[in-house]
Amino acid sequence: MELYYDIVVLGGGPSGISASISARRLGAKVLLIEKNGVLGGMSTAGLLNVWCGDSYSKIFQKVIKNTTKKTDSGRRIFSPETLKYEYIKLIEEYGVDVLLHSFVCDVSVKNGRIESIKTASKSGYTSVFASNFIDATGDGDVANLCGIPFEMGREDGLTQPMTVEFMIGGVDSENALFKQARGNAYLQQKMQEYLSDGRISRPVGLIILIEALEPNTAFCNMTNVIGVDGTNVLDITKAEFEARKQIPQIIKFLRENVKGYENAYVITSACTVGARETRRLKGKYTLTYLDVQDGRFFDDWLVDGAKYCFGVHNPNGKVDAVIGKPVETGKRYTIPYGCFVSDKIENLAFAGRCISGDHYAHSSYRVMPICFAMGEGVGSCVAYAFANGLKVNSLTLSDVKKVQQLIEEEI
Ligand SMILES: Cc1cc2nc3c(=O)[nH]c(=O)nc-3n(C[C@H](O)[C@H](O)[C@H](O)COP(=O)(O)OP(=O)(O)OC[C@H]3O[C@@H](n4cnc5c(N)ncnc54)[C@H](O)[C@@H]3O)c2cc1C
């Protein structure tokens, strides 16, 4: 099978959804390709239920309008189940075409341009031809197939742990600990005891429990698998196994120690292990720790108003999961055009957690509200390039200023 589009977005997570909507809004014929049977990436298939950080993304505002509630502790929580059809409504509203159950497995590149990408599915191989492409796979799969260089992990190559999220029932919501559990000295000590005598296998450590919209339930972000590469299928398989084996141990720990979880049980777990950190593609500019910490303003921004702390879950799997640098910045920052394009391929841009940044900057911009903003910026940028016959990776500052006006329009 062969398909023809103006713009093709690979990966239907937060960044891919917003990139496809933004490009479609500006008149391009857009196809969004996703390997799962649901759109939303980590926000649905990954069974997350809380938005961390913030951005000025208008599409994110649309998504949260009827789906999200602010808790007493200030968390913005949602139901991943609800998002599954909210995304369908949104995609249909804008007229984006979608191909689910389709894994992007190959690219055809000629003279520095992608001619087509290939997907594998029940239909066999499908070749999709387009003028421009956006890699929103989280892992930079498409850019990698094109030979764009990347970095992974911190200086010693270790990456943040992989995690299977799960949902807990039987919670006494009125009395249960949620955000307070994380810094609770008694629980930390108990966790140390369980780790020392093997009742919980390392590297489970941090106690991360999130209140849910559904009564008497909670979400748990506590399984941890370290020393695995989220782009290696053998490691991904190992991580699925290890994380799922940790779930009964964690439930037992919660029942025995944490207030409100005495009758806790597992309702369901994510259908896929989540990778916090894989390829960080080498773009024309690499966003740094200091850019984020200082709240740097770039004239050629494609993302404005990004805000989150440095959220590094320790690659060593120790309990003190967040590294020793200042964690909270309190400042909003911008992400420039150069983080989303490379010198190598003229008709490809990237969005989401695979963009060009260092290990620490990545730990901030990887959260979902910022990924939505990336998709919005990149979708507008690529649609602008398409409409004006320009190379995606060669826009001038004056072009990017025009893209900024598009991003700021009402949607
Ligand atoms: C365990 C964990 C907990 C987290 N907790 C939070 C949290 O509480 N709040 C928060 O805001 N952020 C959280 N994050 C971060 C956030 O979820 C991700 O960084 C964010 O979802 C990245 O968005 P994305 O669009 O780049 O990628 P993703 O959400 O990963 O979406 C990428 C999409 O591309 C698809 N895809 C991948 N490869 C291919 C391929 N080759 N072909 C076709 N499709 C493909 C995937 O199936 C997926 O749907 C967490 C991350 C993890 C791993």
Domain covering 162-275 in this structure, CATH number: 3.30.70
Q: Taking the model in full, what pTM does it have?
A: 0.97
Predicted pLDDT at 310? 86
pLDDT in tens, 154-180: 888 889 999 999 999 999 999 999 988
> Are 150 and 135 in contact, with CB atoms under 8 Å apart?
no
Residue 59's Cβ-side half-sphere holds a number of Cα atoms within 13 Å equal to 35
Instruction: Find the radius of gyration of the CA atoms of the chain.
Output: 21
The SS3 assignment for 218 reads strand
Query: Is the domain 2-153+279-293+335-408 a CATH 3.50.50.60 member?
Result: yes
pLDDT at 392: 98
Tokens describing residue 241: 């196994």
Quick check: CB of 221 below 6 Å from ligand 1?
yes
pLDDT per residue as tens digits for the range 99-131? 999 999 999 999 999 999 999 999 999 999 999
Distance CA 64, CA 62 (A): 6
Query: CA 199: distance to chain centroid?
Result: 32
- The string of pLDDT tens digits covering residues 334-392 is 999 999 999 999 999 999 999 999 999 999 999 999 999 999 999 999 999 999 999 99
- For 240-253, how does the pLDDT look when each residue is reduced to its tens digit (9 = 90+)? 999 999 999 999 99
Task: Report the pLDDT averaged over residues 235-262.
Answer: 96
Q: Which residue has the higher pLDDT, 19 or 202?
A: 19
Query: How many A from CA of 212 to the centre of ligand 1?
Result: 20
Residue 164 CB less than 6 A away from ligand 1? no
pLDDT digits (tens, 9 = 90+) for 216-233: 999 999 999 999 999 999
Dist CA 221 CA 48 (whole Å): 8
Q: Peptide bond before 203: cis, by omega within 30 degrees of 0?
A: yes
pLDDT above 90 (res 202): no
Tokens of 276: 């916090």
Distance, in Å, from the CA atom of 64 to the CA atom of 83, rounded to the nearest integer, reads: 9
pLDDT reported for residue 205? 67
| Shortest-distance Cα residue to atom 50 of ligand 1 | 276
| Phi/psi at 267 (5° precision) | -85, -50
Residue with the bigger pLDDT between 367 and 310: it is: 367
What is the structure's pLDDT at 318? 60
Which of 44, 277, 368, 370 for a ligand 1 pocket mutation test, highest count of atoms within 8 Å of Cβ?
368
pLDDT band at 319 (very low <50, low <70, confident <90, very high): very low
Find out whether the beta carbon of 352 lies less than 6 Å from any atom of ligand 1. yes
Domain ranges of the chain: 2-153+279-293+335-408, 162-275
- For the chain, give the longest Cα–Cα distance: 64
Atom of ligand 1 nearest to the CA of 210: 8
- Tell which atom from ligand 1 comes closest to the C-alpha of 369: 11
Strand positions, DSSP E, 111-199: 113-121, 124-135, 150-152, 162-163, 166-169
Measured over the CA atoms of residue 72, residue 74, residue 76 and residue 79, the dihedral's sign is negative
